[in-house]
Amino acid sequence: MDRKIKQRVIAIEEHYWDRDVGANFDNAETLLPVHLRRRLEDLGAQRLKEMDDAGIDVQVLSHAGPATQRINAEAAVNLSRLANDRLREVIQLKPERFAGFATLPTPAPKAAADELERAVAKLGLAGAMVNGLTNGRFIDEKQYWPIFERAQALDVPLYMHPAPPHPAVVKAYYEDYAEQFPNLLGAACGFTVEAAVQAIRLVLSGVLDAYPRVKIILGHLGEGLPYLLWRIDHVLSRPGNFAGSFRDCFCEHFYVTTSGNFSNPALACCAMEMGVDRILFAVDWPFVSNELGVTWAQNIAFCAEDREKILGGNATRLLRI
């Protein structure tokens, strides 16, 4: 008898909110409206119901931005440990439904590397998420390289999640429109610009040459970079620029997720540039609807094998969950 096993649907950029981390921000209500905070803080019945209604088997939980990237080093270390310990407790209650990415205290780079190891080796988390700039600094700077060294040693990915751009960029590029179109600073444009630049800098910095087995995840179908790979590679191959192949380096080290970008043309571009094995399903809950994401992903015009890879197979292999 043919006993076909149901394909697990694994969503890997699904957020939550730790109250102690969030309490560190005086403008938490501005960062996140109350109705979103309530959903983010729910790690029980309502979250599971929304997962069940949409057909999501597993959520990989990660702290919503800005997490611990914008606070002082000592507070970041303490809060990250507390948040990761509590996240483990949540996962232990429903290990068949939840996995998690660690929160890292990047303002203290060496401590962040140690916390990554503790979170993976002792708490069983699947890697870590970094939310944008660390107090205005890019993660490719050499002071942060111990984090990448440890990620390679542990064989776990680092998820580079966007955040608002540097204040100087906000003032120069968006100030005239920020009041009228507040989301322009976020997912409509600012997030993508910030995350894409961070990813480009990672390739150019040499950190991926120093640690050649590092794996990086970008959300939102790669923050626009798969569409631009040929042009970036072509221009940087001119004399006096990048010594290697930007395109090859990107496709070797980066994975992309579908979070909050349910576009068939964009997905096709990612598949053509990077291959289906490097695309993972994500929703970006609660900022985007579970049902919208699952319905789209289950009906993409790929063969059944490729749909299964995107919906859960690739995450199972990459995160070992």
Residue 227 lies in a domain: yes
Residue 2 lies in a domain: no
Instruction: For tokens 């989301």, name the residue.
Output: 183
Which residues on adjacent β-strands are paired with residue 60?
A: 99
> What is residue 85's predicted lDDT score, i.e. its pLDDT?
98
**What distance in Å separates the CA atoms of residue 216 and residue 205, rounded to the nearest whole number?**
14
Whether residue 20 lies in the annotated active site: no
Annotated active-site residue in 18, 140, 284, 306: 284
Q: The domain containing residue 301 runs over which residues?
A: 10-319
> What is residue 30's predicted lDDT score, i.e. its pLDDT?
53
> What is residue 3's predicted lDDT score, i.e. its pLDDT?
41
Number of domains in the chain: 1
pTM assigned to the model:
0.96
> What is residue 27's predicted lDDT score, i.e. its pLDDT?
57
DSSP secondary structure string for all residues of 53-92: HHT--EEEEEEPTTTTSSS-HHHHHHHHHHHHHHHHHHHH
- Here the CATH number for the domain that contains residue 33 is 3.20.20.140
**Residue range 196-211, pLDDT digits in tens:** 999 999 999 999 999 9
**What distance in Å separates the CA atoms of residue 45 and residue 49, rounded to the nearest whole number?**
6
Q: Please give the chain's pLDDT, 321 residues, in tens.
A: 344 557 899 999 999 999 999 888 755 545 678 889 899 999 999 999 999 999 999 999 999 999 999 999 999 999 999 999 999 999 999 999 999 999 999 999 999 999 999 999 999 999 999 999 999 999 999 999 999 999 999 999 999 999 989 999 999 999 999 889 989 989 999 999 999 999 999 999 999 999 999 999 999 999 999 999 999 999 999 999 999 999 999 999 999 999 999 999 999 999 999 999 999 999 999 999 999 999 999 999 999 999 999 999 999 999 999
Residue 312 lies in a domain: yes
Residue 1 lies in a domain: no
Residue 255 lies in a domain: yes
**Residue range 265-320, pLDDT digits in tens:** 999 999 999 999 999 999 999 999 999 999 999 999 999 999 999 999 999 999 99
Residue 151 lies in a domain: yes
Contacts 24+ apart (CB under 8 A), 265-273: 266/221, 266/226, 266/227, 267/221, 267/300, 269/221, 269/226, 269/227, 270/221, 270/222, 270/226, 271/302, 271/306, 273/226, 273/227, 273/229, 273/230, 273/247
> What is residue 1's predicted lDDT score, i.e. its pLDDT?
35
Contacts of 34 (CB under 8 A, 6+ apart): none
Residue 64 lies in a domain: yes
Residue 3 lies in a domain: no
Contact call for residues 287 and 260 (beta carbons, < 8 A): yes
> What is residue 5's predicted lDDT score, i.e. its pLDDT?
55
